[in-house]
Structures are given as structure tokens and as C-alpha cells.
């Protein structure tokens, strides 16, 4: 059996698969009030009776920089990569580290693997991964576009274009959101960058904003409060002033909730136009993620008025856990 752990910024999911990759069991836990060790205890308790049959375990790791491969056995060097890039994904890498350490202790005879989100974008063209800042400074601090949600974008690619013959714009919309341009199987650009903060407005993260806003607010309210605002109190939540949850926003009738939805759809539409230009046309726009897959209204708002681009629209059910399980099987 294969156990896959997906630690997010506010929750942790697991799925257990049999040898034919059929799902046996799954659950999602919120971090609200629970320490990771307690969450791990709950997972192991739920899997009692299967623990001895779990031969492999995989973990989604958000940030591996340009040092990580697609799938890597969990070794000391692998853990050092995860730890090195933890400051650039503070809501994702640290919980993943805790989960790995906790489950290695609970499942010592299991082989453990790390699947890295950034690996899919490892070979982005220089023109899209280079930031227009002093390149000596950029090189010293490894500042470049890394890209995230690579497991999801790769999943969409393989479902829609397994022969890698199309120009695709893949859109992952969820608590975190990103959009990518893929040309014949190769990603050429993506909205998330040095960290998972850049790009589309998200549930709590701001996405693209004028960098001078950060500098201005750091002087006015301090760096700590500014960081907290753009990471935890911006995006859909910041605009609406009530919630960043899309289901709640769709049920609300106040103007700011409506505006939050419109801003997300408008900015996603702008990215589609930009990536269509970068690709020289687009064959298919693919949606996934809980919002992208789950809301026909959001998909319609995003694609309306884009008929002139003449693309097909596809919807892929998100399943990063199955994608990771398949990567693990490929290592055998």
C-alpha cells in the first residue's frame, strides 16, 4: 500500500492507496488548535490495521527551489533541501517537515518519498524566470521564479495532453491559486514566483501587488504587520472583509464579496491573455483545484469574452495525492 500525505497551509490531507492505486481511505484535518504530532497520531490511529501493509509513503513538498527533483527518497540531503527553502514557504515546508519526521517515527519500515511542487518548473526559460533586479544580488540570494502547484499543473497536462502536442494554459484555483503556460509538454511561464505569494489573488494571500506598497506599509505599520497582512489577511479575504472561502463569498450578496470574486476572475482572465500571447495561441484552457473544478460560475466568468482566442475548455478533478502515488510507483 501507498500512503500519501499532503500538508497544506491550513490543513493536512492523506490518502491510502492499494497496489492498483485504488483509494482505500482518506481524510482531511484542519490545523485549528491541533499540533502536528496530534494530527499524525490521528492519521496513524485511522490507519490501524493497515500500518504494516504501508510499504511506501509520499509527501507533497511545496518549495524545493531548483535543487529538488520531481520525486526523491527522503534522506538527509533531501531534508536539507526542504529546510533550506522553508523560509520561502513558511506555511507549507515546516508542516511537511514535521509530518515527515512524525511518520518516519511511526512507520519506520516504510520507504518515504518527497514530491516537489517546484520540480515541474525547474527548466523555465531564462526570460520568464529572471526578475529585472540587480543580477549579482539575484544570484547571491537565488532569487528567480520557481513556480508552485507543479504537481497539479503536471497532472492537468498528462490528463489533457499526454502526447505533449498542444499549447495549454492550466489554472489551479483553490485556497492557493496559480496559472501556467505549457507548450508541447514544457512549462514556459507560471504566475507564482520566488515564493507562493506572487500571481493570482488567493484565499488569504495578495498575489500581484506593486512592490512599493510593501515598502510603504513597512514604514507605516512595520515589516511584521505588513508581512502578516499580505500573507494572511489579503486576497479574497482582504477585499471582502469577511471571508476568503469561495463558497461563502458566492452565497453573500454584499458588494465587497462580489468585488472579491470579480477581481479574481478579472486577473485570471488577464493572465490567460498574456499567456496566450507568450504561447503564440492556445489550444486548451484547463481548470483544476477545488474552485476551478467545483465552480462552473467562476469558470464562466473567467472565460467569457475570450471566444476570439478559440480554445477548448477542460475541467480536471484535482487529485495531487494520486499524482504523487503514481510518481512513487514509477520509482520501483
- Give the active site residues: 117
Asked if 327 and 72 count as a contact pair (C-beta separation under 8 A), the reply is no
6 grid coordinates? 499532503
Asked if 49 and 39 count as a contact pair (C-beta separation under 8 A), the reply is no
Cell 491510502 belongs to: 16
CA dist 178 → 19, 74, 241, 254 (Å)? 32, 27, 22, 26
Three-state DSSP state, 113: strand
Asked if 275 and 169 count as a contact pair (C-beta separation under 8 A), the reply is yes
Nearest to 182 by CA among 128, 263, 260: 128
CA dist 310 → 185, 271, 278, 298 (Å)? 20, 16, 16, 19
Centre a 10 Å sphere on the Cβ of residue 42 and count the other Cβ atoms it contains: 15
In this structure, which long-range contacts are made by residues 224-233, counting pairs with CB atoms below 8 Å and at least 24 apart in sequence? Answer: 230/197, 230/205, 230/206, 231/91, 231/197, 231/204, 231/205, 231/206, 232/204, 232/205, 233/204
Asked if 200 and 209 count as a contact pair (C-beta separation under 8 A), the reply is no
Q: What are phi and psi of 83, to 5 degrees?
A: -70, -35
Greatest Cα pair distance in the chain:
57
Q: How many CA atoms lie within 13 A of 206 on its CB side?
A: 13
Amino acid at each position: 500500500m501507498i500512503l500519501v500525505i499532503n500538508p497544506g497551509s491550513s490543513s493536512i490531507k492523506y490518502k491510502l492507496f492499494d497496489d492498483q492505486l485504488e483509494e482505500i481511505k482518506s481524510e482531511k484535518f484542519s490545523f485549528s488548535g491541533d499540533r502536528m504530532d496530534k494530527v499524525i497520531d490521528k492519521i496513524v490511529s485511522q490507519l490501524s490495521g493497515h500500518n504494516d501493509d504501508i510499504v511506501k509513503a509520499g509527501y507533497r513538498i511545496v518549495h524545493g527551489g531548483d535543487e529538488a527533483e520531481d520525486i526523491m527518497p527522503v534522506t538527509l540531503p533531501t531534508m536539507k533541501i526542504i529546510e533550506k527553502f522553508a523560509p520561502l514557504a513558511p506555511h507549507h515546508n515546516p508542516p511537511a517537515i514535521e509530518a515527515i519526521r512524525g511518520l518516519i517515527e511511526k512507520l519506520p519500515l516504510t520507504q518515504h518519498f518527497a514530491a516537489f511542487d517546484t520540480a515541474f518548473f525547474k527548466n523555465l526559460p531564462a526570460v520568464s524566470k529572471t526578475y529585472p533586479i540587480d543580477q549579482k544580488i539575484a544570484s547571491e540570494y537565488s532569487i528567480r521564479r520557481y513556480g508552485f502547484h507543479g504537481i497539479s499543473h503536471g497532472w492537468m497536462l498528462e490528463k489533457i495532453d499526454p502526447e505533449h502536442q498542444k499549447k495549454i494554459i492550466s489554472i489551479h484555483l483553490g485556497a492557493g491559486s496559480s496559472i501556467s503556460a505549457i507548450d508541447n509538454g514544457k512549462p514556459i511561464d507560471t504566475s507564482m514566483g520566488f515564493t507562493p505569494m506572487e500571481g493570482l489573488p488567493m484565499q488569504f494571500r495578495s498575489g500581484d501587488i506593486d512592490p512599493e506598497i510593501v515598502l510603504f506599509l513597512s514604514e507605516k505599520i512595520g515589516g511584521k504587520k505588513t508581512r502578516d497582512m499580505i500573507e494572511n489577511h489579503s486576497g479574497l479575504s482582504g477585499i471582502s472583509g469577511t471571508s476568503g472561502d469561495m463558497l461563502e463569498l458566492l452565497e453573500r450578496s454584499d458588494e465587497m464579496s462580489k468585488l472579491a470574486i470579480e477581481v479574481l476572475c478579472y486577473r485570471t482572465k488577464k493572465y490567460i491573455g498574456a499567456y496566450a500571447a507568450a504561447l503564440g495561441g492556445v489550444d486548451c484552457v484547463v481548470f483544476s483545484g477545488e474552485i476551478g473544478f467545483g465552480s462552473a460560475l467562476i469558470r464562466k466568468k473567467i472565460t467569457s469574452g475570450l471566444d476570439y482566442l478559440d480554445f477548448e475548455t477542460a475541467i480536471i478533478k484535482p487529485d495531487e495525492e494520486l499524482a504523487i502515488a503514481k510518481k512513487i510507483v514509477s520509482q520501483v
